Amino acid sequence: MASRSGNLNETMQTWIREHACRPSDALSRLCEKTLLLENGEMLTSPEQLQLLGFLAKSIDAKHAIEVGVFTGASAIAIGMALPTDGVLIACDLTDEYLPLATQAWDDAGLRSVIQPRIGPALETLQALVDNGKQHSFDFMYIDADKINSKNYYELGVQLVRPGGIIAIDNMFYGGQVADPTSTEPNAIAMRALADFLLADTRIDYALIPIGDGLSLSRPI
């Protein structure tokens, strides 16, 4: 037993990835390509990708939302957990990486499942609410601009059904959330979000020390 989440050295990180991850060939190829990009460090960690797929499958998710697509790796992880007639609405502000993403989705056999939505995600999510889609989604993953994470979450509470899951990445923001002297705007936003989620009685809640911190909210 352990009373705290320990700091893992590189050897242990490697061991975890070798024993915790089952990426598809398509996902592995996409991750390799993504890591060659200048901002490849934005890629969701392999063990977190594994967890996202596991969570979506564990609740028999059929309809999902992703906010923040990047090169499409997390969309593959979630999309492969959905049934063949499932839908993943993948929201991103820009189509800069969409060609790479769609090629990978084709490679994974997910083009009929993943539906990209390019533009401000707040507008996309609000449109879903306005069109009567409240509580019609099973799973939501938020990994976009940190300043708006709480706004995405609030719309997610309206869109995700009771018993579904809302997952939010970068809850630790590189450890800066625990530094009260940090005035970095994203760190301030994520620190405030962590306090808000902990106190939100509309959900069951857990904060997982995986990747850069992953919060899990289950609407009640």
At 1 the pLDDT is: 47
Neighbours of 38 (CB within 10 A): 6
Average pLDDT of every residue of the chain: 95
Residues forming a β-bridge with 110: none
In this prediction, residues 23-30 reach a mean pLDDT of 96
Asked if 77 and 53 count as a contact pair (C-beta separation under 8 A), the reply is yes
Nearest to 133 by CA among 145, 125, 144: 125
d(CA 18, CA 121) in angstroms, rounded, equals 34
Local confidence band at 37 (pLDDT 50, 70, 90 cut-offs) = very high
At 42-55, the pLDDT tens digits run 999 999 999 999 99
d(CA 91, CA 107) in angstroms, rounded, equals 20
Does residue 13 surpass a pLDDT of 90?
no
Nearest to 73 by CA among 49, 51, 55: 49
At 113-128, the pLDDT tens digits run 999 999 999 999 999 9
Task: Return the CATH number of the domain spanning residue range 22-219.
Answer: 3.40.50.150
What DSSP state is assigned to residue 139? E
At 61 the pLDDT is: 98
What residue segments make up the domains of the chain, in order of their start? 22-219
Asked if 86 and 40 count as a contact pair (C-beta separation under 8 A), the reply is no
